[in-house]
Each structure stands twice: as structure tokens, then as C-alpha cells.
């Protein structure tokens, strides 16, 4: 950063910014008329987790990009509502609080105050009247209410599920706290433990969540995000097949490759599979039990590591292959997961890599049932042949010769007739576990009564307040610290008045953030989560911007909750975010910012040095918003010089008559072209090119040395989304008493975006050789004639025969010579 010494009447960002921030607050410029707006536009940015470190430059980039869009929409005449809030519950806050030994309820307000200061300083158009924090009882009361609606509707249920358990710290760990199968803090090997936990039935909605992704009338999202969601939901089409057991019953498997059933030479069950006991032969019992115990102890993360060596044991039992009628041995192995499909697979080692590896390890037979184009049935397999598009069946009885795709249908139909197959769609998505055995979250509003069982807390008793306990650390009981707080924990049953206990788990932070956009427009209503009319007016969110790290969980959970609320009649839409765009990431001098590298950029010092407007302009200029870019200290002086030049132009407007001078046609054309280009670029979030276009216009004006007031005014308006304080000040200096944000976005005249005479590029054999100037409306004949007569062109055509002439209207001529 180099020092600059401003001349007395030059642009002083600190003074300008302080002035306008005060004025915006006083005039309430940034608040939308929520009840009366004519053209509501809900411009939402993912709310931040208020960390102790404050907002870093990457956050500022994202917030500025969202704010720039909101301000642009406002200038286009929309009533823009741009709220902000804080996602302050969760394990991040809790762990940090434990680390520094200060209660999160004390830390969070300090952090929020700091975030508020930063977000105000950068000049965000935030509707502070509607600020919210998820830790506020007035907010989480309704988070609990949403839980109860799902419970009532049968969309919430309780079941035992595995958690990561550190036997040394005696506490439940989140997946992120497990590093290489060991506890992040003490290094002890992590085990799994089964706990009763609450789940939401998101899998019931898998199909709809998937279908809506393709419905443009409901959602316009960036492709990368919809693709990530599609993959996460993971739809697979296949069939369930039954492998009969001696003495009745069957092992049911799910497969996407029913065409390979003739090659199923063994079966594998998940160690937890309920049929394991029945199948295990007496002499195998010891080995099977040992394997099951070992599998049960493993932590949740390493259980699912793909490249580890295959393990498993034979149960001693057999089942019957429904296609061949042959008995196949049944094994158990931890590579088969109880949570997916039926918890059992038919193993086809010839055509599945995992099964191939397993068969090789344990000496099980490999049979080829699919062959590629030029292969014959006898070719031995050196590796699994997994191509499921090309290839024909072999060693599959009457199905030999059928292409794979056809064989899938034919075999399922054949087995279905005999009652051993059912077509089936399977999703990878699993139900959402919302229980957290922690302190810092909204208590799940449920009471357990010995007489009545599980009783929901009556809605009129919400919120269930999180008690302000001193010791909020997890302890060796494995249940939430809340269980230690007797007068909170023991309550009379709301149904029978008898002795009862509260649920001590709190809910996942993702539940807090799954509905916050519904709360913003209704923050002043204490008696309802979201007002019906307000919601109808403002929701779904018109434009949502956020990081792609939330492409899956947050966005999917929000969609699910909206869908449930829709089905229960609480909201009129299924999809909460009409438009979503992911912002890119900022790196510093080519490397990712991180504390360990010591290259984290703190925005405050840059803002103090250059002002918020220059900083904003630089952030939006350094790269495409949706891709991010490289933050370099040297780069920031360019945008500042640009503002200085605009300032000087406004200055000239104020005190000279030169401003009346007639514009050259070329300046008029550039002006109108710029208005079009900037408008289109803003809409596409291509802020860097929008700014470049404005710089070009300024350069043209300066070079031509002619200008007029109207042009300068429009320049200021186009600059306003990026440099709001600067634009306000210029607007005032240009003689306006109202906010620049109440001005209209400039429009352009398409006829004036084209010069009277245009340049046509002349290529010979595809290489640019010359240019000719023609009148704007010149026809093909005239242009070709001019091109052929051009001296430079003639040097390259050299009298040779012209075999082909290509004419692109208004742009180019290509002459192909022999």
C-alpha cells in the first residue's frame, strides 16, 4: 500500500462514507416498505456465523457481490428487501467457547456487535430493522415450533443410530472432529456408539427434491449447484431380487445390474444384518461374532474409507441364486452398508470392482456374464468388466446375446413372473439426523413421561429456553450437559402431570438456517413464525447468493423444510429460493488464505486506508464474481484512480460550462453501448466486466475532451451499486436532494449503439488481412465489393480465383482462394 496525500478538495472517502452512513441510518434509506411494496424483490445473502475473528476478505467479497446486486435491482425500480442476521448456534461457537473458557452466550453478542460494525462500514444496504439471531429465544421458539409441526405430521421420528465416541474424552464427536479414525483433541481411537436420535424423513421427499431441480418455473439455479444436489440425492434405478433360503424366507438385495444375476457367485450381508444370526453355522459363530464386534467398534468415518483392504467372514450359510438355481455362500463384510439398499448384496465379482477384489482375497469363483464387442465368453477376467452400456450377455442361459440395457429389463420381467424380482428406485440420500448431544443449540421440545411416553411440548409453552448453565462442556455420560441441570431436566408431564424428563439433545444448526429466510420479513410478529401475508408478498426469495460449500446440505434442508411447510399448508410455495448463484473464493497472491500460511486478509485495515467504496470496487473488479479471484495489494490503486477521475469529472460539472459542449457521435455511441453492456453484465453478475465497461466510457470521454451533465449523471448511477457512498456524494454535488438510489437506472437507445460507418474485417483463407470501412446499413454486395477492391486484400488474394465468399453481416468477410 502506498501513501497518497489528497489535495484539499479531492475525494476523501472517510468523510464521504461517514456522512452517508449517518444519513442512510437517519433517513432509513435501506429499509423496504414490507407491507406496501409494489415490486417486492427479496435479495438474500447467506447469513454468517459470527466468528471471533470477524469477517475476512472472502466474506466481504461475497457480501459486496450480493449487495451490489440488490442495489442494482433497487435502481431498476424494485422494492428491495435485503436483510441480514446471524447463524450463531452450533459446534463452532461451542468449541471456541470451550477453548477460550468463556460462555458462548457472552461471546456471541460481542461477535455480533463486531460483525454489525463491519457490515455497516462496508456500506451494505441491509434492513437492520429486521436483523435476527438464531440464538434469540424469539427466533428459536419458532425453530422448535417447526420441529413440532414435523413431529405432528409424522415427519420426525426417533431411532438408534451410531455416533462417534471418544473413550478417553468420553464424549460424542462430530464427523469433522474425527481425524484418521482418532479423536481430534486427544488422539485416542474413536469408536461408534448407538444412541437414540431424532431424524427427519427427508428420504420421503427424495423424488420431489430431485424433480424440482429441473423445473425452471420453480427454480433457476447455477448448474454446478443443481448437479451437486442431484449427485447427493443419488437416484439409482434397479431391482430388488430375492435369494431364497433353505427353510423359507429369502435374502433380499438391491442391484442396479440385474443383468448380471447369472454371475452372482456369492452374497455379502452387512455385519449388522438381522439374518446373520439365522444363517451362521455353529462352527462359524465365533468368527462371525468377532467380526461383528470389531465392525461395530469402528468409528463412522473409517468404516467408509473406500481404498482399505477388503475384510469379511463366511457365515457357513447358503442362499439360492434365483436365476441359476445354484446355492451361493453367504458372507458378511463391512463394505456392505446397512443404511443403503437392503443391507445385503448379490456379489458379481466378474462385473463389480469391490466384489472382484473380495473374491480374489477369499478365493471365491469369478464368472463372466457380460462380454464386450470383440471378446468371447471364455476370456478370463483380469479385472472386473464394469461397462454397463456396451456389451452383451454370455453364460446367462436364454439371455445370451442380449445387449446389457435390454437384458436388465428382460431379466427383471422374467424373475418378476416367478416372484423373485421387483423393479425399484433407490436413493443415496439418508434421513436427516437432527439430534446433537451438545449444549449450544435450541433444545428439542419433547418431554419423556413414564406413563405417557414421548410427549411434545405444547406450542403455548414454547420456547423451551436453553438454561444458562455454567458448565456447558460435554461430559462422560454421553448425553447433553443439559441433563445435569436438574430443575430444567425434571418437569411435570404436560399430558398427565406426572414425573417426566426433558429431551436433552439440541437440534442441528442446519435446522436454524433451514427457515431463517421466512422469519426476516416477519420479525415484528411475536405471535407467529411468519406472517401469511408478508410471506406471500416476499417469498420465495427472489435472489439468493452464497457459497458453494452449502450447495448440498443447507440448500437441500431448506428445500425440504419448505416442501413440508407447503404440504402442511403453511406456505404457498415448494421451492424457497427462486434464483440461486454461488460466489467464488478469494485467494491471496495465488494461494488459499489460511491462518497457518499467515495470508488471511483483514478487510478493516484496507477500508481504513482506501475507503469502503474503493475496496468494494476492487473486490468486484478483481475477477468474475462466480469464480472468485486473486487479492493483490497492488491492484487496489486502479479502482481508486478510477473514482478520482470520476470525482474530477463531477467537479468539472459543478463549476464549468464545458459540460454543455456537444458530444461527438463516437462518444454518444460509446455511452449507449456502455449502458447496454453494463446492464447486461450486472444481470449476469459479471461485475468485473461491468466495471471495465464503465472505465472504458470514462476513458473515451476524457480522450474526446467533451462531455455533458446527463452523461455524468448516468455514470454516477451506474457506479452506485459498487460505490454507494461515493455515488451519493457525487449525486448531491450534481444538484440532487434525494438519494441516488431513488434515481432510475439508465436506459439506452439501440439505434445509438451503432456507428454510422462500421469497420468490416477482411480475412483471406481465415486469416485477418485487412479492414474496410462501410456505411452502417451496407448490404452484402457493397461490402464484398469494398473488400475485393481493398489494396491490402489484393496483395493476399494475388489474382487467384476466389472460390468462396463468407459474409457475416456487420462484422467480417472471409475470402477463400485456391
Find the binding residues for RNA in span 316-335 (CB under 7 A).
334-335
Q: Which stretch binds RNA (CB under 7 A): 252-260, 510-518, 598-606, 709-717?
A: 252-260
The helix, strand and coil proportions of the chain, stated in percent and rounded to the nearest 5, come to 40, 20, 40
Residues 266, 241: Cα–Cα separation, whole Å: 14
Task: Please answer whether residues 103 and 473 qualify as being in contact, where contact means their C-beta atoms are separated by less than 8 angstroms.
Answer: no
Q: Which of 341, 349, 391, 463 binds RNA (CB under 7 A)?
A: 341
Closer to RNA by CB, 49 or 232: give it: 232
Residues numbered 667-726 forming contacts with RNA, rule: CB under 7 A: 686, 688-689, 691-692, 695-696, 699, 702-703
Task: Please answer whether residues 558 and 221 qualify as being in contact, where contact means their C-beta atoms are separated by less than 8 angstroms.
Answer: no
Residues numbered 734-763 forming contacts with RNA, rule: CB under 7 A: 759, 761, 763
> Smallest distance from the beta carbon of 559 to RNA, in angstroms?
17
Closer to RNA by CB, 34 or 264: give it: 264
> Smallest distance from the beta carbon of 170 to RNA, in angstroms?
26
Q: Which stretch binds RNA (CB under 7 A): 457-465, 571-579, 618-626, 668-676?
A: 618-626
Q: Determine if 176 is a binding residue for RNA (CB under 7 A).
A: no
Closer to RNA by CB, 37 or 817: give it: 817
Residue 77, CB half-sphere, CA atoms under 13 Å: how many?
5
Q: Which of 117, 641, 665, 710 binds RNA (CB under 7 A)?
A: 641
Q: With b meaning 16 or more CB within 10 Å and e meaning fewer, what string describes 9-29?
A: eebebeebbeebbeebeeeeb
Task: Please answer whether residues 565 and 149 qualify as being in contact, where contact means their C-beta atoms are separated by less than 8 angstroms.
Answer: yes
Closer to RNA by CB, 69 or 439: give it: 69
Site string for RNA, 449-478 (x = CB under 7 A): ------------------------------
Q: Which stretch binds RNA (CB under 7 A): 50-58, 160-168, 254-262, 457-465?
A: 254-262
Q: Which of 4, 418, 473, 800 binds RNA (CB under 7 A)?
A: 4
Q: Which of 203, 637, 666, 704 binds RNA (CB under 7 A)?
A: 637
Residues numbered 297-316 forming contacts with RNA, rule: CB under 7 A: 303-308, 310
Closest CA to 516 of 567, 555, 574: 555
Q: Which of 629, 721, 724, 746 binds RNA (CB under 7 A)?
A: 629
Q: Determine if 623 is a binding residue for RNA (CB under 7 A).
A: yes
Q: DSSP letters along 409-454, please?
A: HHHHHHHHHTTSEEEEEEES---EE-EESSSSSPBP-EEEETTTEE
> Smallest distance from the beta carbon of 229 to RNA, in angstroms?
10
Q: What angle do CA 548, 676, 61 make, to 5 degrees?
A: 30
Q: Which stretch binds RNA (CB under 7 A): 56-64, 90-98, 230-238, 601-609?
A: 230-238
Site string for RNA, 789-818 (x = CB under 7 A): ---x--xx-------x-x-x--xx-x-x--
Q: Determine if 364 is a binding residue for RNA (CB under 7 A).
A: no
Task: Please answer whether residues 561 and 518 qualify as being in contact, where contact means their C-beta atoms are separated by less than 8 angstroms.
Answer: no
Closer to RNA by CB, 354 or 501: give it: 354
Q: Which stretch binds RNA (CB under 7 A): 98-106, 177-185, 228-236, 457-465?
A: 228-236
Cell numbers describing residue 534? 408478508
Phi first, then psi, for residue 633 (nearest 5°) are -55, -40
Closer to RNA by CB, 249 or 635: give it: 635
CA atoms 63, 69, 71, 73: torsion sign = negative
Closer to RNA by CB, 483 or 582: give it: 582
Q: Determine if 613 is a binding residue for RNA (CB under 7 A).
A: no
Q: Where are the alpha helices (DSSP H) in 471-567?
A: 486-489, 509-513, 516-519, 532-538, 553-567
Q: Which stretch binds RNA (CB under 7 A): 27-35, 210-218, 338-346, 365-373?
A: 338-346
For residue 628, with 0-12 CB atoms within 10 Å meaning exposed, 13-18 middle and 19 or more buried, which class applies? middle
Closer to RNA by CB, 310 or 566: give it: 310
Closer to RNA by CB, 234 or 316: give it: 234
Site string for RNA, 410-449 (x = CB under 7 A): ----------------x-x---------------------
List beta partners, residue 684: none
Q: Which of 183, 228, 313, 328 binds RNA (CB under 7 A)?
A: 228
Phi first, then psi, for residue 160 (nearest 5°) are -75, 135
Closer to RNA by CB, 759 or 780: give it: 759
What is the size of the binding site for RNA (CB under 7 A)? 87
Q: Which stretch binds RNA (CB under 7 A): 414-422, 431-439, 471-479, 766-774?
A: 766-774
Task: Please answer whether residues 673 and 723 qualify as being in contact, where contact means their C-beta atoms are separated by less than 8 angstroms.
Answer: no
Residues numbered 545-564 forming contacts with RNA, rule: CB under 7 A: 548-549, 552
Q: With b meaning 16 or more CB within 10 Å and e meaning fewer, what string describes 757-784?
A: ebebebbbeeeebbebebeeebeeeebb
Residues 488, 480: Cα–Cα separation, whole Å: 13
Closest CA to 328 of 367, 357, 273: 367
List beta partners, residue 807: 813
Task: Please answer whether residues 388 and 423 qualify as being in contact, where contact means their C-beta atoms are separated by less than 8 angstroms.
Answer: no
Q: Which of 82, 240, 352, 508 binds RNA (CB under 7 A)?
A: 352
Amino acid at each position: 500500500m502506498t501513501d497518497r496525500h489528497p489535495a484539499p478538495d479531492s475525494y476523501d472517502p472517510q468523510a464521504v462514507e461517514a456522512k452517508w452512513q449517518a444519513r442512510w441510518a437517519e433517513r432509513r434509506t435501506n429499509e423496504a416498505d414490507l407491507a406496501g411494496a409494489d415490486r417486492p424483490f427479496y435479495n438474500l445473502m447467506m447469513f454468517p456465523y459470527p466468528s471471533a475473528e470477524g469477517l475476512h476478505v472472502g466474506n466481504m467479497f461475497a457480501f459486496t457481490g450480493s449487495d451490489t446486486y440488490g442495489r442494482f435491482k433497487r435502481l431498476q425500480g424494485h422494492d428491495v428487501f435485503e436483510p441480514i442476521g446471524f447463524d450463531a448456534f452450533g459446534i463452532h461457537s461451542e468449541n471456541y467457547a470451550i477453548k477460550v473458557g468463556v460462555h458462548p452466550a457472552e461471546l456471541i453478542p460481542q461477535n455480533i456487535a463486531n460483525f454489525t460494525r463491519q457490515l455497516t462500514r462496508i456500506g451494505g444496504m441491509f434492513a437492520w430493522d429486521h436483523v435476527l439471531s438464531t440464538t434469540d429465544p424469539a427466533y428459536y421458539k419458532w425453530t422448535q415450533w417447526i420441529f413440532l409441526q414435523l413431529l405432528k405430521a409424522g415427519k420426525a421420528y426417533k431411532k438408534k443410530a451410531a455416533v462417534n465416541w471418544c473413550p478417553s474424552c468420553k464424549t460424542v464427536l462430530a464427523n469433522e472432529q474425527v481425524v484418521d479414525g482418532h479423536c481430534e483433541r486427544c488422539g485416542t481411537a474413536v469408536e461408534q456408539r448407538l444412541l437414540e436420535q431424532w431424524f427427519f424423513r427427508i428420504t420421503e421427499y427424495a423424488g420431489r427434491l430431485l424433480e424440482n431441480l429441473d423445473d425452471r418455473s420453480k427454480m433457476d439455479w447455477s448448474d454446478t449447484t443443481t448437479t451437486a444436489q442431484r449427485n447427493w440425492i443419488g437416484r439409482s434405478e434397479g431391482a430388488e431380487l430375492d435369494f431364497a433360503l433353505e427353510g423359507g424366507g429369502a435374502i433380499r438385495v438391491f442391484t442396479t445390474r440385474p443383468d448380471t444375476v447369472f454371475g452372482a457367485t456369492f452374497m455379502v450381508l452387512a455385519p449388522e444384518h438381522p439374518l446373520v444370526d439365522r444363517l451362521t453355522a455353529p462352527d462359524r459363530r465365533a468368527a462371525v461374532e468377532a467380526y461383528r464386534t470389531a465392525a461395530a467398534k469402528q468409528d463412522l468415518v473409517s468404516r467408509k474409507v473406500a481404498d482399505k483392504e477388503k475384510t469379511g467372514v463366511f457365515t457357513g450359510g447358503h442362499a439360492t441364486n434365483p436365476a441359476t438355481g445354484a446355492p451361493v455362500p453367504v458372507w458378511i463384510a463391512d463394505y456392505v452398508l446397512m443404511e443403503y439398499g437392503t443391507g445385503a448384496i448379490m456379489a458379481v465379482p466378474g462385473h463389480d470392482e469391490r466384489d472382484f477384489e473380495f473374491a480374489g482375497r477369499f478365493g471365491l469363483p469369478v464368472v463372466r456374464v457380460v462380454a464386450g464387442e470383440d471378446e468371447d465368453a471364455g476370456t478370463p477376467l483380469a479385472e472386473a468388466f464394469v461397462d454397463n452400456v456396451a456389451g452383451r450377455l454370455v453364460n446367462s442361459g436364454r439371455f445370451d446375446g442380449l445387449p446389457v440395457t435390454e437384458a436388465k429389463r428382460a431379466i427383471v420381467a422374467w424373475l418378476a413372473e416367478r416372484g423373485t424380482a421387483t423393479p425399484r428406485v433407490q436413493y443415496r440420500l439418508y434421513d436427516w439426523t437432527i439430534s446433537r448431544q451438545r449444549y449450544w443449540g435450541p433444545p428439542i421440545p419433547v418431554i419423556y413421561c413414564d406413563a405417557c411416553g414421548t410427549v411434545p411440548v405444547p406450542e403455548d409453552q414454547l420456547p423451551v429456553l436453553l438454561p444458562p448453565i455454567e458448565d456447558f462442556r460435554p461430559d462422560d455420560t454421553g448425553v447433553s450437559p443439559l441433563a445435569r441441570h436438574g430443575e430444567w431436566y425434571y418437569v411435570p408431564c404436560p399430558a398427565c402431570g406426572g414425573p417426566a424428563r426433558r429431551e436433552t439433545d439440541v437440534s442441528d444448526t442446519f435446522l436454524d438456517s433451514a427457515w431463517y429466510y421466512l422469519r426476516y420479513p416477519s420479525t415484528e410478529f411475536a405471535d407467529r413464525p411468519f406472517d401469511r401475508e408478508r410471506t406471500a408478498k416476499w417469498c420465495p426469495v427472489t435472489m439468493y447468493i452464497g457459497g458453494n460449500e452449502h450447495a448440498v446440505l443447507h440448500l437441500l434442508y431448506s428445500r425440504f423444510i419448505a416442501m413440508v411447510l407447503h404440504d402442511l399448508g403453511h406456505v404457498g410455495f415448494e421451492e424457497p429460493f427462486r434464483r440461486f448463484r454461488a460466489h467464488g473464493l478469494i485467494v491471496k497472491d495465488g494461494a488459499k488464505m489460511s491462518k497457518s500460511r499467515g495470508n488471511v486478509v483483514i478487510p478493516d485495515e484496507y477500508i481504513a486506508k482506501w475507503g469502503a467504496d474503493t475496496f468494494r470496487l476492487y473486490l468486484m473488479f478483481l475477477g468474475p464474481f462466480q469464480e472468485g479471484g486473486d487479492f493483490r495489494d497492488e491492484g487496489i490503486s486502479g479502482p481508486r484512480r478510477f473514482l478520482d477521475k470520476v470525482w474530477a469529472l463531477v467537479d468539472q460539472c459543478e463549476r464549468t460550462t464545458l459540460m454543455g459542449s456537444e458530444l461527438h457521435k463516437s462518444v454518444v455511441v460509446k455511452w449507449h453501448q456502455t449502458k447496454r453492456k453494463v446492464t447486461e453484465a450486472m444481470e449476469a453478475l459479471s461485475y468485473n466486466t461491468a466495471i471495465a465497461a464503465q472505465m472504458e466510457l470514462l476513458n473515451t470521454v476524457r480522450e474526446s475532451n467533451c462531455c455533458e451533465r446527463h452523461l455524468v449523471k448516468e455514470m454516477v448511477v451506474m457506479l452506485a451499486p459498487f460505490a454507494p457512498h461515493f455515488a451519493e456524494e457525487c449525486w448531491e454535488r450534481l444538484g440532487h436532494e434525494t438519494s441516488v438510489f431513488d434515481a432510475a437506472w439508465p436506459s439506452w437507445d439501440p439505434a445509438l449503439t451503432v456507428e454510422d460507418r462500421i469497420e468490416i474485417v477482411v480475412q483471406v483463407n481465415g486469416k485477418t488481412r485487412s479492414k474496410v470501412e462501410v456505411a452502417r446499413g451496407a448490404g452484402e454486395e457493397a461490402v464484398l465489393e469494398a473488400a475485393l477492391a481493398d489494396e491490402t486484400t489484393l496483395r493476399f488474394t494475388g489474382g487467384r480465383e476466389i472460390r468462396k465468399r463468407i459474409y457475416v453481416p456487420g462484422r467480417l468477410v472471409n475470402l477463400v482462394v485456391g
